[in-house]
Amino acid sequence: MKKALASLMSLWLAALPLAAGEKTKMEERLEDCGTVMKEILAMPDTISKDILDKAVCVMVIPAVKKGAFIVGASYGRGAITCRGASDFSGGWSAPSMFRLIGGNVGFQIGGQETDYVLLVMNDGGVKAILRGKVKLGADASVALGPLGRTADAQTNGSMQAEVLAYSRARGVFAGVSLEGANLEEDTDANKDLYGHDYTAMDVVRRGKAQPTEGSQLLLSLLTKATPKHRP
């Protein structure tokens, strides 16, 4: 009995550094999301405040590399945060980890590292994405994200889109087509980060998780840039 208990204790202790290491990796990913958002919001031709104010969720997927693209395999990892309360009048939630999978994105970015920002514009888009897995263009409509002061005029005909997508590569920030790509919640990453088997819905709409240190930059930037939802 003592030997069995000792073996179990050894296995538990051996797992602790791994668990801590995985959490650190998730925190670093969230920090990268914050850095990407900071740099993009500082660009002269960026997402207009009007568009940000209309968004109900923001997803950031940093440093996607073409070399990692394999058909059907995960090639981009990031996080989503949503405004709180049933009518999205609350503050920004703790982020849930997400993956960008498949699609034809790899052919669009020329081999360079590319950052993606996706704005979820309405409740229909939120429900589609938070089901766990969604194909953009099929399960949720997606459109090129407009830029600059003329954003409102550009989107009068496309504001019915549930998701507006942007990319940044080679220092250029622009709208991008992500039609055919899949978004999938990363429940393993959520467990590493929060210590529980939380779904994306649990984290960003049910408020079961509290923001961690790694998410502070992203959440503070969004709170400053768009503190209030203006549908």
pLDDT digits (tens, 9 = 90+) for 195-215: 999 999 999 999 999 999 999
Strand partners, 164: 119, 143
Cα separation, 77 vs 33, in Å, equals: 10
**pLDDT digit string (tens) for 40-80?**
999 988 999 999 999 999 999 997 765 444 443 446 899 99
What pLDDT was estimated at residue 171? 80
Report the C-alpha gap between 88 and 3 in whole angstroms.
55
Spatial separation of the C-alpha atoms in residues 54 and 195, rounded to whole Å: 32
Q: Is a pLDDT exceeding 90 seen at residue 179? A: no
Length of the chain equals 231
With cut-offs at 50, 70 and 90, classify the pLDDT of residue 24. Answer: confident
pTM: predicted TM-score of the whole model, two decimal places: 0.84
Q: What gap in Å lies between CA 52 and CA 92, rounded to an integer?
A: 13
pLDDT grade, residue 111 (50/70/90)?
low
Please state, rounded to an integer, the average pLDDT across all residues of the chain.
82
Q: What is the pLDDT of residue 53?
A: 96
pLDDT one-digit tens code per residue, 117-150: 999 999 999 999 999 889 999 999 999 898 875 5
Pairing of strands 163-169, 142-144: parallel
Residue with the two structure tokens 């959490």: 23
Instruction: For residues 175 and 158, give the distance between their C-alpha atoms in angstroms, rounded to a whole number.
Output: 13
The first and second tokens of residue 77, run together, are: 């990892």
pLDDT reading at 218 higher than 50: yes
Strand locations in the chain (E): 57-64, 74-82, 96-101, 114-120, 133-135, 142-144, 163-169, 172-175, 182-185
> d(Cα 188, Cα 125) in Å, to the nearest integer?
23
> Which burial class, exposed, middle or buried, applies to 224 when counting CB atoms under 10 A from its CB (0-12, 13-18, 19+)?
exposed
- For residues 224 and 215, give the distance between their C-alpha atoms in angstroms, rounded to a whole number: 14
The whole-number pLDDT of residue 185 equals: 94
Q: Is the Cβ–Cβ distance between 60 and 33 less than 8 Å?
A: yes
More confident residue, 71 or 159: 159
Reply yes or no on whether the pLDDT at 107 is more than 50. no
